[in-house]
């Protein structure tokens, strides 16, 4: 009979295989998906669904994103033959994506505006003792100017546009990946690369669905 650790490792590998089948080809991102135990970031009642490639509720009208979408966005942040340097995540949620990012980045700063979610993520992440991850309670729309510039910025919520503060905090040569709402029902994944101090290159990608990007803290 397999031990719990062996079963869990099998679940993680199976999830990575599902993400690969969804079209994600970046090897290190797939390795990170196969490493982080997704169930550890959910309530026990959600554990049976933890390794499905689907978004799931985490409370406070928020979700843990679909793993293949997490992987797609992280894959897009990577430039060829480069690892991620300093990363800013807008929307910590339960902390799962931050944990994945921590395996691929030098430093991760993750901002959450909903206090109970920030506290929950801190609690869920504590056993992992991740030294290159910092959690911040604050308004993600403002970014984190004291730690800027960032080599990569990732948003886990969709606004009508990309906040100017985040574009300004992106390093030259850096990439930002965000869902952007076209209207009330449609969202698109956008990748922005900062080419110079004044020039940004935008690429419109997949249709996605995320919770709305909101300002302020609660």
pLDDT of residue 156: 96
Angle between helices 67-77 and 4-21 (to 10 degrees): 60
Per-residue pLDDT of the chain (218 residues; tens, 9 = 90+): 678 888 889 999 999 999 999 999 999 999 999 999 999 999 999 999 999 999 999 999 999 999 999 999 999 999 887 889 999 999 999 999 999 999 999 999 999 999 999 999 999 999 999 999 999 999 999 999 999 999 999 999 999 999 999 999 999 999 999 999 998 889 999 999 999 999 999 999 999 999 999 999 99
Give the domains, in start order, of the chain with CATH numbers.
54-208 (3.40.50.150)
pLDDT for the residue 148: 98
120, 128, 63: which is closest to 99 by C-alpha? 128
| Residues acting as catalytic residues | 65
Burial letters 9-29, b for 16+ CB under 10 A, else e: eebbeebbebbbeeebebeeb
């Amino acid at each position: 009979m397999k031990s719990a650790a062996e079963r869990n490792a099998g679940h993680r590998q199976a999830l990575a295989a599902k993400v690969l089948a969804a079209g994600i080809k970046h090897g290190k991102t797939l390795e990170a998906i196969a490493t982080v135990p997704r169930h550890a970031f959910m309530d026990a009642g959600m554990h049976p669904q933890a390794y499905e490639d689907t978004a799931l509720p985490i409370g406070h009208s928020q979700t843990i994103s679909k793993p293949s979408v997490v992987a797609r966005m992280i894959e897009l942040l990577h430039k060829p033959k480069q690892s991620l340097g300093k990363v800013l995540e807008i929307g910590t949620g339960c902390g799962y994506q931050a944990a994945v990012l921590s395996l691929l980045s030098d430093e991760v700063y993750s901002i959450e505006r909903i206090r109970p979610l920030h506290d929950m993520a801190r609690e869920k992440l504590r056993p992992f003792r991740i030294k290159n991850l910092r959690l911040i309670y604050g308004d993600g729309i403002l970014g984190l100017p004291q730690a800027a510039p960032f080599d990569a910025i990732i948003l886990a919520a969709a606004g009508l546009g990309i906040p100017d503060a985040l574009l300004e905090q992106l390093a030259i040569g850096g990439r930002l990946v965000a869902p952007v709402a076209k209207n009330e029902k449609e969202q698109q994944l956008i990748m922005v690369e900062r080419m110079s101090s004044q020039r940004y290159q935008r690429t419109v990608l997949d249709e996605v669905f995320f919770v709305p990007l909101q300002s302020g803290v609660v």
